[in-house]
Amino acid sequence: MLRRGIDKQERMAYVNHSGKVREWVAHKIACRNDVAWMFEQWDGDNDGLLSKDELMPLEGNGRESCLAQFIDMCDDMVVDGQISVDEWCDCFSFADDLRHEPPCHKEKHSVDPHMTGVVIPGAFLPRCDLEGYYRPEQCHNGYCWCVDRFGREFDHSRTKGELPDCGQYSNELNDDEKSDLEHRL
């Protein structure tokens, strides 16, 4: 018996890039060939799991600044500090699939599908954080209001011509964020 209850019948044989026959855990989630190949490259001990040690070179690469958060997000089916082939495939399909797009990015794409920066006059373009959720302060047509990360407005937070105090609901704004919002007034 292998880890996570994977027995020999659930493994499949294939020939890897170097011509060696390897066994690999059959994944249950649809997986693009390039994503499956990438998993195989990083799974050095061929156990069907990517450990922190196997992923260390990825996280230490200065060009991959948000990879650590992406990897942490992938470890979600069985939170154990390792990424199974199913978690890996699901994580990359999640990133490709607009159905899983975070709410603020989804609304932004509905207003500006090609992210050109050209928006229909009068259309509300939300402010999003790096993860694709709503920033606490939103402004449009001279009004500002406070929202939670899913874009739901807090009662009695709407102001006209000035920034609301969303600190009571969330973190403080930095100077760049304040300047960006003031330009929207």
Of the listed ranges 80-84, 138-142, 164-168, the one predicted with least confidence: 80-84
- Residue 159 DSSP class: E
Q: What is the pLDDT of residues 131-160, one digit of tens each?
A: 888 999 999 999 999 999 889 999 999 999
Give the whole-number percent of the chain exceeding pLDDT 90.
17
Query: In the chain, where are the structural domains located?
Result: 3-98, 117-184
Is 120 a residue whose pLDDT tops 50? yes
CATH number, domain 3-98: 1.10.238
Give the whole-number percent of the chain exceeding pLDDT 70.
64
Is 86 a residue whose pLDDT tops 80? yes
pLDDT, residue 28, reads 67
Whether 148 contacts 173, CB under 8 Å: no
Burial pattern 32-71, b for ≥16 Cβ within 10 A else e, equals: eeebbeebbeebeeebbbbbeebbeeeeeeeeeeeeeeeb
CATH number, domain 117-184: 4.10.800.10
Asked whether this chain's domains 3-98 and 117-184 adopt the same fold, the reply is: no
pLDDT, residue 56, reads 75
Confidence label for 77 from pLDDT (cuts 50, 70 and 90)? low
Is 122 a residue whose pLDDT tops 60? yes
pLDDT, residue 102, reads 82
Whether 184 contacts 177, CB under 8 Å: no
pLDDT, residue 8, reads 36
Q: What is the mean pLDDT of the chain?
A: 75
Task: Report the alpha-carbon distance of residue 171 to residue 168 in Å, rounded.
Answer: 8
Task: Report the alpha-carbon distance of residue 104 to residue 101 in Å, rounded.
Answer: 8
